[in-house]
Chain A
Amino acid sequence: MSYSDTELLAVVAARQLAGVTSVFAGVGVPLVAAVLAQKTRAPQLVIVVEGGSMGPRMVPGRLPYSTNEMRTAPRAQMLPGITDTFLFAQRGFLDVGFVGGAQIDPYGNLNSSVIGGYERPKVRLPGSGGANDIISLCRRVMVVTMHERRRFVPKVDFVTSPGFLSGGDSRRDAGLVFGTVSRIVTHLGTLAFDPESRRLQLESLHPGVTVQQVRDNTGFELPAPEHVPVTEPPSAEELETLRSIDPERNFLG
């Protein structure tokens, strides 16, 4: 079965949730991936959404556009207030965070605030929302994003959501005792961090993608192992389930 880039991204992101107990997911592809995981490899997965929903079973074809609307609530186990939802993460209950961002740098820092300076920016973006909180407070965070050169930049214009800051122990030194950015999942492959320098390196490639192709779409130097593992292509079952979740392709494009 053929598939689009976004479909591939959603499928590989969903696979990351096998064995995971809870995922704090943002709307868009991260949430679609979380719902797909719930319907395939992780039936007991508790999806947590920052508008204040824990454990919902969202309705296929009626996925939410935002984290706080009633589409996020069907069959939820609890609807806490927003602050209290985040405090479950601060206390350490929430396993994986799934976030995106307009820009990402070699240390996994994300920018969703401004292109250019904070005062009178070139482009004012929507802002953090809960991304900063999710990346600071969940046990581990995966960034789910399309892989484009304009996104993967040597230095983000603004650190909205901290990855490993300037690498090494700098994240811990800033007071971020818990949590970690574990992986970047893109439509070309997955990237992980060197355990010492905390810089990104290539971890795996999706079917048919070359190392050069990933490097061409990355605005900074990206080390790669000699033999790069290749992801299993999306199965017919994964794709059919995915398409049934978003039949109007509001999120799959």
Chain B
Amino acid sequence: MRSADFVEARRRLEAKPQSTGDKLTTLTEAVRKVRDGDHIAIGGCLFSRSPLAALMEVLRQGRRGLTLSRNLMCYEGELFMASKAVDGLMTSWFDIALPWGLSLKLREEVEGGRIRFEEWSHLGLGLRYRAGAMGVPFLPTLTMLGSDLMGVTDTKTMQCPFTGETLCLVPALFPEVALLHVHRADRFGNCQIDGYPHMDTDIAKAAATVIVTAEEIVDEEEIRRQPDRTVIPGLVVDAVVEMPYGSFPHECYGLYEADFAHFEAYTDAVKARGTGAVNDYLERYVHGVSGHEQYLALFGEEALARQRRCAEELLGPR
């Protein structure tokens, strides 16, 4: 869909059957809602609360021609490029983090002209999701002005009709699919997140289809006891799946810390053997397993327990 087309986005939403019923399903079924060519907005941020289990299932189901957007994109982007599943990436930053060096896979693809890479400022992309969440065509902002990012993105400037000042306008983003991982949800899709909200609520409201994995599915009474903690109402959610460790080896706030040793091993392999190591990783962690349980078994109980202890050391028991 054309960016900023709030009329079409609203029509698309109204045309969709809306349900207040049970949305609890399996990962396989939930991810079947993703179609070739979709724009998938990914929740969390970098290696925090990433919906990794769902993303890996998208790869397992062999989708093609996707566009991925994310505030900061981690190595999941590399896996999609190596799978030839994406035509375009939209983000403000792409890497694991400074200690692990530049992404060699990103370099290969962008420098070789093999992928559309659209760079926004972090806030610029955040406001695109927010405009989508608000159902308006654009938002004015004071960021990005004067920079070369203006020339490589679909931004416009305008003179403020009230003050005459120059404003940057960012167009609303209406992704086909939002993939989110949250701490707890009920079977109706009411979601609660602990710690950083990141951009998840805006992404959920902006997208046409919202697929949620949750560390834990709780009874609806538990949600109703603390409705102030609910950040995404079931009304905007299309499918919800119980997926403990659904972000692993990325972190889930307060529950398990990111497994930095795993990042190290992965990037060491890419540095040593080249980007073919990304394909090896895909073979082992995505296609070599039937689903999330087998995937977690590759890390082992001990690693999961260790990362839980790290989280507890930092933020106390949950």
Kindly state whether residue B297 has any CB partner on chain A within 8 Å. no
> In angstroms, how far is the closest chain B Cβ from the Cβ of A150?
15
The count of chain A contact residues (Cβ–Cβ below 8 Å) is 58
- Among the 9-residue stretches A130-138, A180-188, A210-218, the one with 4 or more Cβ atoms under 8 Å from chain B is A130-138
Kindly state whether residue A90 has any CB partner on chain B within 8 Å. yes
> In angstroms, how far is the closest chain A Cβ from the Cβ of B180?
13
Kindly state whether residue B285 has any CB partner on chain A within 8 Å. no
Kindly state whether residue B242 has any CB partner on chain A within 8 Å. no
Kindly state whether residue A127 has any CB partner on chain B within 8 Å. yes
Task: State the main secondary structure of chain A at its contact with B.
Answer: loop
Kindly state whether residue A4 has any CB partner on chain B within 8 Å. no
Kindly state whether residue B127 has any CB partner on chain A within 8 Å. yes
Asked if A69 contacts B146 (CB within 8 A), the reply is no
Kindly state whether residue A3 has any CB partner on chain B within 8 Å. no
Asked if B45 contacts A82 (CB within 8 A), the reply is yes
Asked if B112 contacts A120 (CB within 8 A), the reply is yes
- Among the 9-residue stretches B15-23, B51-59, B254-262, the one with 4 or more Cβ atoms under 8 Å from chain A is B254-262
Residues of A within 8 A of B142 (CB): 90, 136-137, 175-178
Residues of B within 8 A of A74 (CB): 314-315
Asked if A159 contacts B146 (CB within 8 A), the reply is yes
Kindly state whether residue B216 has any CB partner on chain A within 8 Å. no
Task: Evaluate whether A159 and B97 lie within 8 angstroms (CB atoms) in the complex, with A68-B45, A127-B119 already known.
Answer: no
Within 8 A of B (CB), among A40-86: 50-53, 59, 62, 65-71, 73-74, 79-83, 86
Kindly state whether residue B281 has any CB partner on chain A within 8 Å. no
Query: Which of B111, B143, B253, B313 sits near A132, CB closer than 8 Å?
Result: B143
Residue ID in chain A nearest B119 by CB atoms: A127
Alpha-carbon separation in the docked complex, A33 to B152 (Å): 33
Asked if A70 contacts B144 (CB within 8 A), the reply is no
> In angstroms, how far is the closest chain B Cβ from the Cβ of A29?
10
Asked if B143 contacts A137 (CB within 8 A), the reply is yes
Contact with B along A116-147 (1 / 0, CB 8 A): 00111111111111111100110000000000
Residues of A within 8 A of B258 (CB): 69
Within 8 A of A (CB), among B55-114: 71-72, 91-95, 97-99, 102-103, 106-107, 110-113
Residues of A within 8 A of B94 (CB): 126-127
Residue from A68, A118, A165 having most chain B Cβ neighbours under 10 A: A68
> In angstroms, how far is the closest chain B Cβ from the Cβ of A54?
11
Kindly state whether residue B221 has any CB partner on chain A within 8 Å. no
Kindly state whether residue B25 has any CB partner on chain A within 8 Å. no
Kindly state whether residue B201 has any CB partner on chain A within 8 Å. yes
Asked if B197 contacts A81 (CB within 8 A), the reply is yes
Residue from A53, A81, A122, A131 having most chain B Cβ neighbours under 10 A: A81
Alpha-carbon separation in the docked complex, A126 to B123 (Å): 16
Kindly state whether residue A28 has any CB partner on chain B within 8 Å. yes
- Among the 9-residue stretches B6-14, B30-38, B163-171, B183-191, the one with 4 or more Cβ atoms under 8 Å from chain A is B163-171
Task: Evaluate whether A79 and B197 lie within 8 angstroms (CB atoms) in the complex, with A70-B253, A90-B143, A132-B149 already known.
Answer: yes
Residues of A within 8 A of B110 (CB): 120-121, 124
Residues of B within 8 A of A79 (CB): 195-197
Alpha-carbon separation in the docked complex, A16 to B194 (Å): 34
Within 8 A of A (CB), among B120-142: 120-124, 126-127, 129-130, 141-142
Asked if A133 contacts B148 (CB within 8 A), the reply is no
Kindly state whether residue B41 has any CB partner on chain A within 8 Å. no
Residues of A within 8 A of B93 (CB): 126-129
Asked if A159 contacts B111 (CB within 8 A), the reply is no
Kindly state whether residue A171 has any CB partner on chain B within 8 Å. yes
Asked if B195 contacts A27 (CB within 8 A), the reply is no
Asked if A136 contacts B99 (CB within 8 A), the reply is no
Query: Which of B92, B149, B254 sits near A70, CB closer than 8 Å?
Result: B254
Kindly state whether residue A113 has any CB partner on chain B within 8 Å. yes
Residues of A within 8 A of B253 (CB): 70, 73
Alpha-carbon separation in the docked complex, A125 to B102 (Å): 7
Sampled A-B contacts (20; CB under 8 Å): A27-B97, A51-B45, A51-B196, A68-B46, A69-B48, A73-B314, A81-B196, A81-B201, A82-B199, A83-B126, A87-B123, A90-B141, A113-B119, A126-B103, A132-B143, A133-B121, A160-B149, A162-B145, A165-B146, A170-B146
A-B pairs with lowest CB-CB distance, top 7: A175-B166, A174-B146, A83-B126, A129-B93, A86-B123, A132-B121, A68-B45
Interface residue ranges, B against A (CB under 8 Å): 44-48, 71-72, 91-95, 97-99, 102-103, 106-107, 110-113, 117, 119-124, 126-127, 129-130, 141-149, 152, 157, 165-168, 195-199, 201-202, 251, 253-254, 257-258, 260, 311, 313-315
